[in-house]
Structure 1
């Protein structure tokens, strides 16, 4: 009975577990990136994103008030205040503190520490401090105090504000966003147009060498992209399109055509033969059959490839690096911009997380909006 069509397979549980594992592996990094984009730099540095809803123990570098706020009392010069108030942070219980980066946990709250330049400081658990010295405190800035405190969870929109609206970043990210659209949209439309015509010809038109062309398309599917980069770049440079959008459009078109033709041809072969033969009997030309019958019926397959091509070109870095050679940054795409941020802001993980999530926002929107076409197009033709 196990081999009868329609019976439930005994390996269904394995399929479900595999599908759940793939979903989790894809979802966890995205959720982590999303949560990290709302966290502060200190929280990211001290705990993982999965601990975001809970308080975290952080080592903070705070400063006392500046020496110009000191007052004289009982023959001593005194500076008083609250460390958290001076740093505009939320007040948190201090467990240990120190006045040197080499000993950040040297003192307990309430104990008095000797300052390197003379005088003493006493820090309480709530952040209140009192500095005393027999001579006037000097300098333009307050005393550094290293404290360890349990900071409550904090979420902020400041990372997005800094990334999208800060004059130091907005121009570069906005330009990179529109540059990515400039690359992605034509690089998605052009191969679809070419592949649709080629797929129809290979599926429904009889001509010499058709089988060889189909075999060639299948063979091109296994050609590594990296193998063709240098020869293709040399060709583009020789004809003058190696440093602009035209070159990267044609590169993405060439790399995407084998899969597009293979996918669309397999779909079109599965379309009802009677419809096409009846159209020919009625006097329709191949172009009319293609535009009025094949294209409407092949929309799921066209949409599924459009999703794949869009996601690939949007997230591409290698082809953009090779074919968009521009030292001025006028054609920099978002993936390359994030790499540049990684070099200039290597310690600002909150900015990098925000930039990365902004870059995946459009692909996520496209995928969820058109996922029904992706599934329908990939499965079409498998069942008659």
Structure 2
């Protein structure tokens, strides 16, 4: 469906999600009402599910993509309720606030959670992960690919290799809410079992969709166990997703028709270039922004560029500049950026999102100029 929608001039949202959206995506949100089992919507949803296989880099017919109405947080519930049983040992690698929140979700479902916490701004050392897997039998391990609170990116490939070597029966669960669509994730090649994300970050669609991908063995485990949830049950959603992907409508709960239509448009845009080209573009813009920030005399929160994410940057505030003042100054210049939320660093840093549409529209360069002007106005030299 073509759209002539043109969004009006507005303050640019440069937080780590929701991000800015393309005119075509926003226009798709105005799609007239369709029945969720209509031929038109079935074709749309079928395209979405097939393209998600490309986004997650999976050709495994036993693996399954899912799209549910909900936030990225729903993915935690889905993983906890379907892949972990009460009493199961789960190893959580924590690189910030969202890793810890995933651990809290797992505990709600009765998991015996073992949290290994990285130094602030760093990742959990690979040797530590190896030692934990040698010393204890874990049903699952969770990796927050990018923790939005610290802008730290974990090496999913290296961690997965360790898990496959030391504890191949352990399910590998990846929180990719702030990574899918901007950081590389080789679902099949790396042996990931469950990866979750959301629509409003690098995928570039208004908030409202919980998107996740499950391996064949994860699906088998979910289908074989007793249900402990209703709406988040993979027993109920798996046949629905299989039906839509095969071109047939099905019903368990009503899908978000307009938002899924917008997701189709966004996935078509994302896949118009190769994923490697997209990742390289994000890395280039990210590196340029980080370099510009450092030239202004500021320090990024990650301990080095190797563990720094490409979809956002967390930056320590310079001495004498308060977060409300800087965020307020940027707001007056037409930009919304985010404060810091790590419990150990509240009020000491801010975060800038640079993913998706803004990366291609030159928004990051404009924000960089506004940041320099704002810091000068606030007395930073």
TM-score where L is the length of structure 1: 0.24
Which of 1 and 2 has greater Rg?
Answer: 1
Q: When you count strand as a share of all residues, which structure comes out higher?
A: 2
TM-score where L is the length of structure 2: 0.25
Instruction: Give the structure, 1 or 2, with the largest relative contact order (CA under 8 Å, sep 6 or more).
Output: 2
